[in-house]
Amino acid sequence: MKHLLLRIEPVVWFLFGQGIMIGTMLLTGWVLVLGLAIPLGLVSPDALAYERAYGLGSHPIGRLLLAALIALPLWKGAHHLRHLSIDFGGLSRDVVVAPILYGIATLGSLAAIVAVIRL
Amino acid sequence: MSTARPAHPQVMQPSRPGPTRTAPPMRPARMPLRGPYLTHSLFGATGLIYLLLGLLALEIVWALGSGEEAWNRVRENFQHPLYIGFHTLAFASILFVGVRFFRLFPPAQPPRIGPAKPPPPGVLMAMLYAAWIGVAGVLALILAGRIF
Amino acid sequence: MGDVRNKTFVVTRFDPDRDEAPRTQRYQVPVQPDWKVLDALNYIKDEIDGTLSHRWSCRMAVCGSCGMSVNGEPRLTCKDALDQYGDTVEIGPLANFPVIRDLVIEMEGFLEKLKSVKPWIIRAKEKAVEEGPLNQSPEQLEEFRKFSMCINCMLCYAACPVVANEPDFLGPAAIALGHRYNLDSRDEGAAERNEIFRGEGTVFSCSYANECTEVCPKHVEPAAAVNQAKLNVLIDWAKGLVLPRGGAQ
């Protein structure tokens, strides 16, 4: 397992980096509107009525952005949590923690692809 | 130093022991939650926020693909105080991550990749912030129904 | 003469023949206003307690010998002015290192990590003497110059949270040194070193805490080196997927 983790590290680091870069950029607007402005009534919920939301999401660019917005933060999250675990003295449990976290990110990324395809 | 705790016992040990008994290595005194290590630990802890945001986005997009009823049902959750509280924390975390990462990004660029040199650090930072504001602004306007 | 002030120094002591574990000992020192921390330590050894052991040499921050923990932070004691500290100063051995005695740490593990990155010019084929020197322009030198300024003081290892938890991690100075050679226009060994960078001591263990850069007394910016190295390793790995391997093997 340790050897496998070493072999995939460049890819994981790349996805983590994109998660921070692109994930942060995409999530800012997403959280601002979906997470705060609409719930707090600053923006009308009609802006994301089903027809409009579906039209945006099912557009090819929409599908791509949504897939990135789901998948990339998962890799940033998984990688950072793994390192946080090690920071708190968890090297010996890394052989369990890392596969679980990267497993969640992998499954989540696959689910993201399915989610945008079925739109 | 009175508060220092042991590092992993194998840390910085030579491959062959020296002639005398050594005292085990101790962690930096302020690890893991004081001074610069607190900032570093918080940076790592935002990983949980990002993970949850990704999974939440998955639920939202899945609902969008499941028809109008499912979509409207998931939107009702937006009003929940826990949802708003989480996203307030999430927004602060995203800003924290962006600012810290953009500060660390320019030194991490090699002097050259092939023949291409990166822009000077000041220019690079300006480009990053411009991209951040641009992408966030455009996406926010789209989601808020102001454009497209 | 200036204002002499008494300061209390709480110094870590450890004698492997006598002590179960490190302990502290307090010393009152009449500190001159222009003294560095090292001056106080040398005063203790010369005038109060000759049994205190500590490393030092150049007194001018170029040899890297006198690194210690001062109030919990890794500092070069010959460079650190005492007037920035209060009436009590804690001095201990560098964090993250086994302790041989008092303030003297075991550095052999560090030297092994340095050696492991092959810190020398690697050529596919040595240039014959008759063909002349390996020329290098000032621009080419500038690409790696700051990474060559390391004085091996080990403060970066004492500050790194990853070093504290991962014994195999190569560490800031070793990676910066390897990266220095990878960036050197005369060197052709990047592929070899990148294999080491991806090995047990993997550069990807670094979580960019940036503390190594913060504590470095020579502005080497090891965190920059480590994170540049990650990108170079990634590019090498990606190229390896697409192109057949060649070059200095």
pLDDT tens column, C158-174: 999 999 999 999 999 99
Q: CA of C135 to nearest chain B CA: how many angstroms apart?
A: 19
Tens of pLDDT, residue by residue over C36-54, are: 999 999 999 999 999 999 9
One-character DSSP codes across C203-221: GGG-----HHHHH-TT---
Helix runs in chain B, H state only:
36-64, 68-76, 81-104, 121-143
As a whole number of angstroms, the distance between CA B43 and CA A83 comes to: 11
The band of C1, judged by pLDDT with boundaries at 50, 70 and 90, is: low
- Between chain A and chain C, how many beta carbons pairs sit less than 8 Å apart? 31
Evaluate whether C52 touches C68 at the Cβ level (below 8 Å). Answer: no
pLDDT band at C249 (very low <50, low <70, confident <90, very high): very low
| pLDDT of A33 above 70 | yes
Tell me the pLDDT tens digit for each residue of A71-117. 999 999 999 999 999 999 889 999 999 999 999 999 999 999 999 99
Q: Looking at the predicted structure, is the pLDDT value of residue B37 above 80?
A: yes
User: In whole numbers, what is the pLDDT of chain C averaged over residues?
Assistant: 96
Check residue C247 and give its pLDDT.
Answer: 45
B144 chain-A contacts, CB cut-off 8 A: 33, 37-38, 43, 47
Token representation of residue A3: 């050897």
Tell me, what DSSP letter sits at residue C202?
-
Q: In this predicted structure, what is the pLDDT of residue C248?
A: 41
Per-residue model confidence (pLDDT) at position C93: 98
Identify the bridge partners of residue C91 per DSSP, sorted by sequence position: C11, C70
Contact of B12 with chain C, judged by CB distance below 8 Å, is answered with yes
User: Are B139 and A38 in contact (CB < 8 Å)?
Assistant: no
CA-wise closest residue to B52 among C100, C113, A62, A70: A70
User: Residue C231 corresponds to which tokens in the numbers above?
Assistant: 């990108």
Percent of chain A exceeding pLDDT 90 equals 97
Minimal CA separation from B136 to chain C, in Å: 25
Place of tokens 């014994």: C167
pLDDT per residue over B96-141, tens digit each? 999 999 999 999 999 998 899 999 999 999 999 999 999 999 999 9
B57: closest chain A residue by CA: A70
Tell me, yes or no, if B24 comes closer than 8 A to chain C by beta carbon. yes
Mutation site, A84, A85, A87, interface C, largest C CB count within 10 A: A87
Give how far A86 is from chain C: nearest CA, Å.
7
Band the pLDDT of C3: cuts 50, 70, 90.
confident
pTM, whole model, 2 decimals?
Answer: 0.95
For residue C3, the distance in angstroms to the closest alpha carbon of chain B comes to 29
According to DSSP, the β-strands at C23-31 and C67-70 are: unpaired
Is C193 strand, coil or helix? helix
Cα–Cα distance for residue pair C93/B34, rounded to 1 Å: 20
Task: Give me the residue from A14, A87, A91 closest to C161, CB to CB.
Answer: A87
Measured between alpha carbons, how far is residue C27 from residues C9, C12, C89, C177 in Å?
Answer: 5, 11, 10, 39
Stretch 132-191 of chain C: residues touching chain A, C-beta under 8 Å: 161-162, 165-166
Contacts with C198 from chain A: Cβ below 8 Å = 6, 9-10
Report the residue from B7, B23, B111 with minimal CB separation from C164.
Answer: B7
**Closest Cα in chain B to C89:** B1
Burial environment of residue A71 by CB neighbours within 10 A (0 to 12, 13 to 18, 19 or more):
buried
Provide the pairing of β-strand C5-13 with C88-92.
parallel
Residue pointed to by tokens 């049994």: C51
Q: Which stretch of DSSP H or E encloses residue C68?
A: strand C67-70
Residue whose tokens read 């290098």: C136
Provide the pLDDT for residue A89.
Answer: 83
- Which chain A residue's Cα is nearest to B72? A50
Backbone angles phi, psi at C88, to 5 degrees: -125, 130
Is residue C81 scored above 90 in pLDDT? yes
In chain C, pLDDT over 90 holds for what percent of residues?
95
